Amino acid sequence: MIKGKEYTSVSEIQDYIYSPWEEKVLLDGTDGMQFSPDLQTDDVIAAFVNDLSRNCYFDYSHNDDTYPHLDNYIFVI
């Protein structure tokens, strides 16, 4: 809920509380900065992406071999 102000007349402003969203939205997943250490290639990553204001789901794409002794999984939308 958010506080708002509205004009009730030319000289009077009234405070009110409202919800800017039409419906409730479940925030699913993480903030995208940290994931489970036991992440596997068949997992689907759920993250809330602030720039899109949406829940996004990522699937495994491929391994990145930049670092030879680490498994770097690349996940894409």
pLDDT digits (tens, 9 = 90+) for 26-46: 777 787 778 888 889 999 998
* pLDDT of 21: 72
Tens digits of residue pLDDT in 55-66? 899 999 999 999
Higher-confidence residue of 53 and 11: namely 11
Query: pTM of the full predicted structure?
Result: 0.58
Q: For residue 22, what are the CA distances in angstroms to 18, 28, 42?
A: 11, 18, 34
Contacts of 72 (CB under 8 A, 6+ apart): 63, 64, 65, 66
* pLDDT of 20: 72
Q: Do 32 and 49 meet the contact criterion of CB atoms below 8 Å apart? A: yes
Looking at residue 48, what DSSP letter applies? E
Contacts of 55 (CB under 8 A, 6+ apart): 25, 26, 27, 28, 29, 46, 47, 48, 49
Using 50, 70 and 90 to split pLDDT, how confident is the model at 48? confident
